[in-house]
Structure 1
Amino acid sequence: MGADSGGGTVTGGVETRDDELAARLRLVVGRLNRRIRIDGSETLPPLQLSTLVTVEQHGPLRLSELARREGVTAPTMSRVLSALDEQGMVERAADPGDARGVLISIAGTGRACLQEVRSHRTALIARRLDRLDSAQRAALVAALPALEALLVPDED
């Protein structure tokens, strides 16, 4: 038994506390993410935006690899890429390793779009941070390393 972050004691097993923590974290992260998406009013649907980020981070990629990374079918990814291509957000080039294949990379327009979305979302979060008192802000700063550690992929 030990003290929790709110100053109380943990009654019950660690598993209960971890379950409660996981549930609260899931809820707050999910709601905050949804609120940012709603308030952000981006012109690109979430899957197109996610696809652009994936291509930016890991590209150039083949359609099949992009579909796998995004967790969608190849036909769905094909439609997403067609929409992004029409807007000039991505570029297609022949795969030098396979003449039948095409590699997708991000275009300058796509990079500019992502920068605009990121700037807008950062401003939205900054406005929400302004609502917090100094102790709450300090708690967030202290929690950032732990939250960032949650982003590390599980080892399989």
Structure 2
Amino acid sequence: MKSTFYLKIGMMVLALVGVFYGMKALDGGALEDKASDPQSALGLLIGSDYRPLNWCPEKTQKVELFDPAGAVTKTLEKPEDISSVCEIMMGAFSMEGIEESSFKKSLAAHGPSGGPIVILEQVPGKPVFRVKGMPFSSPMLSKALDRLAVP
């Protein structure tokens, strides 16, 4: 027999092992955990509950971070810092137990000079935000704000 025959049989056996491995991996809970993670690219590909959102105006120059009292605590001007708070993953949540008056000003994104200013509000202590009246949840933005709050 020719060596190509044995090569084809070997490739078929290898493919069969790959199929069994794939079936086992898809059957486990690890895929479901990765799909529901808001920072997972896999979740974005297969359609998790989280969607990308860029809430800042186009060509944002700076983003101001506010404390609960409404005073500016930090100003972000580096593009990577601005991107970390502007380009986020948003998801659905329940408004149960959250009052409209509990939202406090958290971030203000300034466009080019004389341009628009967009305000992002947050319910203190929760990953619940609102931009232009649209509420959403974002654990990713909560983590970014916690990281920026540390001096």
Regarding TM over 0.5, the answer is: no
Instruction: Compare CA radii of gyration and give the structure with the larger one.
Output: 2
As a proportion of its length, which structure holds more helix? 1
As a proportion of its length, which structure holds more strand? 2
